Amino acid sequence: MTMELRWDPLLGEWVMVSSVRRARPWLPTGFCPFCPGAPETGYGWRVVVLENRYPMLSPNPPEPSKHRFYKTGRALGRCLILVETPEHNVDDISDLPVDQIRLVLKTLQDVVAEESRRDYASYLLWFRNKGVEIGVSLTHPHSQIYITPFIPVRVKRELRSFKMYLKKTERCLLCDIIRVEEEDKVRLLHSTPTWTAFMPFHPHWPFEALLTPRRHVQLLTELDHRELGDLALMLKLVLCGFKNIFRKPTPYMLVLHQAPLKGNHNYYHLHLEIYGVEREENKMKYAAGMENGGGNFTYDTSRGERGGS
């Protein structure tokens, strides 16, 4: 079995390599491993956290292969599945009652608190993939948690930007952006007393949303009762907004960007990013040669739309 980290010296980033996932079986039609009563779920839960059966990372990974030139590392960490409801036939997390979404987030908070104590846990990335269009095969509402022994590349780049901005202005970049978005209003999607959601001025995807707490906090565990409830509401409102555009479910990715679990990162400001990938009905935005090979994104805006104000 191979399960290891391999360092890409050209880009300077880790790749998670595993042979475990290749072993994923074809599930019999009609069987859902996330439904109540499945071997790993049991009964009596409203939300359940499962170990990913085909993980890229593990608390007890095998020794990595050694190479005289290339750098490898132990695939220390954990991959979890957050099953968001016992009900199989719900299409999306946004179709759940706000209370249930709140419970999902509360459970996630507990996982963050628990995993923060592990030596190997450098970062906890929560993400959600929605839609067969982006490869989701199990439709029972669920999201994923990766506890990684490294800080994900995009978060690292954000940390750098926040640090530089603070140094230059003595302010927080996202606190400033919140102020700008609340003033401009044109890109605002929703706001509550504790959260604000807007479409970024510089979107990478056709329908992109940034959700952020007004309070300058770094970790999900810092959110209080009210803030967590407001996030649940925001998620429902923004994701239902996406569906309303197309008057049907639409594929998206969602990711939580919080601070690394270890060390002091009080210059950082937690937020969630949602990438809606459908640009017009049944037409997807594909990240292809420019995006994956060059790294920069193109964004098709509607004619005459002005970003400025």
Interface positions, 247-306, toward a copy of itself (CB under 8 A) = 253-255, 257, 273, 275, 284-290, 292-306
If the CB atoms of residues 214 and 229 are measured against a copy of itself, the closer one turns out to be 214
| Burial group, residue 123, by CB count within 10 angstroms (0-12, 13-18, 19+) | buried
Residue 207 gets the label, from left (phi > 0), alpha (psi -120 to 50) or beta, of beta
Residue 44 Cα to chain centre, angstroms: 27
Q: Which of 1, 28, 44, 247 binds a copy of itself (CB under 8 A)?
A: 1
Angle between helices 98-116 and 225-246 in degrees, nearest 10: 120
Q: Which of 27, 65, 226, 240 binds a copy of itself (CB under 8 A)?
A: 65
Cα–Cα distance for residue pair 150/19, rounded to 1 Å: 20
Phi first, then psi: give them for residue 168, nearest 5 degrees. Answer: -75, -40
| From 65-73, 191-199, 218-226, 240-248, span contacting a copy of itself (CB under 8 A) | 65-73
State both tokens at 98. 């706000």
| From 3-11, 97-105, 213-221, 235-243, span contacting a copy of itself (CB under 8 A) | 3-11
The Cβ of residue 11 has, within 10 Å, a number of other Cβ atoms equal to: 10
Closest CA to 144 of 171, 182, 104: 104
If the CB atoms of residues 101 and 147 are measured against a copy of itself, the closer one turns out to be 147
User: Pattern 197-236, binding to a copy of itself, x per CB under 8 A?
Assistant: ---xxxxx--------------------------------
| Burial group, residue 147, by CB count within 10 angstroms (0-12, 13-18, 19+) | buried
**In whole angstroms, how close is the CB of 303 to a copy of itself at the nearest point?**
4
First to last CA, the chain: 56
Q: Which of 69, 119, 167, 247 binds a copy of itself (CB under 8 A)?
A: 69
Query: What residues from 82 to 141 belong to the interface with a copy of itself (CB under 8 A)?
Result: 125, 127-129, 134-136
If the CB atoms of residues 266 and 298 are measured against a copy of itself, the closer one turns out to be 298
Does 66 engage in binding with a copy of itself (CB under 8 A)? yes
| From 69-77, 81-89, 108-116, 228-236, span contacting a copy of itself (CB under 8 A) | 69-77
If the CB atoms of residues 202 and 225 are measured against a copy of itself, the closer one turns out to be 202
Query: What residues from 140 to 169 belong to the interface with a copy of itself (CB under 8 A)?
Result: 144, 146, 148, 150, 152-158, 160-161, 165
**In whole angstroms, how close is the CB of 17 to a copy of itself at the nearest point?**
5
Closest CA to 205 of 171, 169, 242, 233: 242
